[in-house]
Amino acid sequence: MIEFVLAPDDVARVRFAFSPLWEMVRSLRVLADPSGHALHLPWVRTVRPRLRGLGFETLLDVVLPAGYIPDFLTPPPRTPLPDLGAELATVRATPPEVVAAELTWTAPGNPPRPARRAMAADPEGTLATLADLLERYWEVAVEPFWPRVRDLLEGRSCAAAPRSPPRAPRACSATCTRRSHGAPGRSPSTATGTSAASSPGAGSCSSRARSCGRRCR
């Protein structure tokens, strides 16, 4: 069993926020292994034909169906309602040495895959390629469904956001920005309660979400 021990400063930094980038990255796992995501098969059937021939295999070499996802692809949201463009800019600003280290990190006894080793040999070029592919993938596979996904996340954030005093940590969303997939040299990182980009067509709670947004900003 994994146990996280939080100091008071850690607790003060915990907040609720949702991340378009995180949801997009997680959706790659649904495409890679739909068998574990039966609820989202209609989305998979819709999206797969659109992706053929567009060269997204590189993303699937980095985001595997299970296990560690390089942390530089999922930076913690800086605001309760982050913008995808700003998140991708954060990804593009990742230092090359961080890209190389996280691409080659594996559990003890499991050597990195050849494709990842090749990417790590050119971290700057790999980073630019991955960021460009993510931007294209968003346009083709996620953006058409995003309004409904966003409504779901905003609705859930209303239910999840604590009603705390004004000085308590504030935010509003569906992704708790504590990390769960530890990278080398990092503390435990982002754990998400939902993978909404992998659940297009979700319902909404927009009126509650708007009131939640006013409360949390």
- Cα-based distances in Å from 4 to 76, 188, 212: 18, 8, 28
pLDDT at 198 over 50: no
Q: At what angle do helices 123-137 and 84-92 cross, to 10 degrees?
A: 170
Within a domain: 3: no
Residue 202 is assigned to a structural domain of this protein: yes
Dump pLDDT digits (tens) for 107-121: 777 888 899 999 999
Q: Max Cα separation, the chain?
A: 52
Q: Which domain holds residue 14?
A: 8-216
How far apart, in Å, do the first and last CA atoms of the chain sit?
Answer: 36
8 A C-beta contact, residue 133 and residue 59: yes
Give a yes or no: residue 51 inside a domain.
yes
The total of other beta-carbon atoms located within 10 Å of residue 1's CB is: 2
When computed from its CA atoms, the radius of gyration of the chain, rounded to whole angstroms, is 17
Q: In what side-by-side order are the strands of the sheet with 191-192? A: 16-17, 175-176, 191-192
Residue 2 lies in a domain: no
Q: How many domains does the chain divide into?
A: 1
Would you say residue 154 lies in a domain?
yes
pLDDT(210) > 50: no
- In this predicted model, what pLDDT tens digit does every residue of 151-167 receive, in sequence order? 887 766 655 555 544 44
What is the average pLDDT score of the chain?
76
pTM: 0.69
pLDDT score for 160: 57
Any idea what DSSP says for residue 174?
Answer: S
| 76 lies in some domain | yes
Give the pLDDT confidence of 70-126 residue by residue, as tens digits. 999 999 888 777 889 999 999 999 999 999 999 999 877 788 889 999 999 999 999
Domain presence at residue 178: yes
